Amino acid sequence: MLDQRGALAWAIALGFLLVGSVSALAIEVQPTRPQIEAALERGKLAAAARTPPDRLYHWFGSSHELEPRGFLMTKLAGLAVMSTHFALRSATPSDVEITRILDERTLLISLLIFGDHPDFARDSYVVVQQGQRTIKPITVRFDGQANRTAVWPEAPAYRAKVVASFSYSDLDPRARTRISVFPGTGGEVAFDLDFQEID
């Protein structure tokens, strides 16, 4: 017989499986009511499991601490993350707060890149390539002063964040996609994703 903690762990695992089966895509521009409810429930389950909210975003790139990676801040992920933050305070997001996320017109892409100088990420730029189309961002923010890594002064000595926003109306939410970051000091860091396989 399962003890109380074991039963809770099984319930949480089952909940993640059921919630995952409701939404086939994370890049959902107009989520349905079942998808919205599933995302909110996913956040509650994450809070119960003490899963860090940022793990609910769709991560891509390397899992190694000192290699480039990033995540997509989609509407459904945003709902799940918000729900987690509220659940950790034994609260529930209001309809106004839910609507604010659903009305968002841009997909945010957050990227971590590495370099050898503290200002390597200054004037960084990001583009998305889908087939023959090159999609430019609405905004790009970057760390003008990068943080030292754990291996400083060895390479890679510095880590910087670059965040770009893209209009949903410019994107195909089901396409194979390449995200390219061009640090201001030169070079390119690229990630290949299939938006249709994002869950």
In the chain, where are the structural domains located? Answer: 1-55+74-103, 105-199
Q: What is the CATH number of domain 105-199?
A: 2.60.40.10
* pLDDT of 15: 42
List Cβ neighbours of 64 (8 Å cut-off, separation of 6 or more): none
* pLDDT of 199: 55
What residue ranges of the chain have pLDDT lower than 50? 1-24
Which residue's entry shows tokens 């189309």?
133
Distances (CA, A) of 22 to 11, 53, 67, 114: 17, 20, 32, 37
* pLDDT of 26: 53
Give the integer Cα–Cα distance in Å for 181 and 70. Answer: 11
Mean pLDDT of the chain: 86
What pTM was estimated for this model as a whole? 0.80
* pLDDT of 24: 47
* pLDDT of 108: 94
* pLDDT of 27: 82
Taking a C-beta distance cutoff of 8 angstroms, is the pair 74, 29 a contact?
no
Residue 8: in which H helix or E strand, if any? Answer: helix 4-22
Give the integer Cα–Cα distance in Å for 150 and 45. Answer: 33
What would you report as the CA-atom Rg of the chain, rounded to the nearest whole angstrom?
Answer: 18
